[in-house]
Amino acid sequence: MSSDARAYGDPDTRRRILFATWEAIEEVGADIRLRDVAERARVSRQAVYLHFGDRANLLLALVEFMPETLGFPKLLAHVFAAESGVEMLRRAVVLHSTYNAKIDSVARVLEAAQYQDTALGAAWRDRMTRSRAAHRMIVQRIAEEGRLTDGWTVEDAGDLFYTVTMQSPWRELTCELGWSPKQYARRMTKLLLDSFVTESQA
């Protein structure tokens, strides 16, 4: 995935356009026009096409750009630096509670667009696949520590963990139902630990 031989144009301009797109999506929503994006980036509409080819490709680039900009790798590393599987799970949910908020407006657009553009759908799916793998590793760790409840396999619990902490449920609970990040983290963690983990300390 993700490696076009060489990107066109000035990297700074490219970044400006990506930031402009991001801003535009946050303000306007899904139906951003590329002329608005261009205006925000203070370039011509055609510059956008020169850099990214088309709308789908622009969003595609944004999918890579956001996590880099938000320092996602570091945040993820902190989750995996935990000393126990249960603590990893806790930290993962906390990460979701804050990180999901930052990418939500863009995520809405991508969720909607993924079925219309093949390449974009693939990129989004790829992102999901990684996330799924990360969640499974956490459950794997819990299992290795002998704390996974008998009824669950690593695979099933991992997939469920991954799925219920996805963007959509998070969005519903926080944006629509008003849960704070802390409430989200506490309650979601409780749900998962209650089912996945055998009691021992907490």
Partner DNA sequence: AGCGTCACTTGACATGATGTAAAGCTACCA
Partner DNA sequence: TGGTAGCTTTACATCATGTCAAGTGACGCT
Say which residues have a Cβ less than 8 Å from residue 91's Cβ, sequence separation at least 6.
78, 79, 82
Should residue 35 be labelled a site residue for DNA when binding is judged by CB under 7 A? yes
Region 75-134 residues binding its own copies, contact defined as CB under 8 A: 108, 111-112, 115-116, 125, 128, 132
Residue 148 gets which letter from DSSP?
Answer: B
Please report how close the Cβ of residue 52 comes to DNA at its closest, in angstroms. Answer: 9
**Measured distance CA(153)–CA(156) in Å, rounded:** 5
Should residue 19 be labelled a site residue for DNA when binding is judged by CB under 7 A? no
**Measured distance CA(65)–CA(52) in Å, rounded:** 13
Region 165-184 residues binding DNA, contact defined as CB under 7 A: none
Stretch that binds DNA, among 35-43, 130-138, 140-148, 179-187 (CB under 7 A): 35-43
Contact string (CB under 7 A) for DNA, positions 52-91, x = contact: -xxxx-----------------------------------
Nearer of residues 32 and 43 to its own copies, judged by Cβ: 32
List interacting residues with its own copies (CB under 8 A). 29-31, 108, 111-112, 115-116, 125, 128, 132, 149, 151-152, 156, 159-160, 162-164, 166-169, 172-173, 176-177, 179, 187-188, 190-192, 194-195
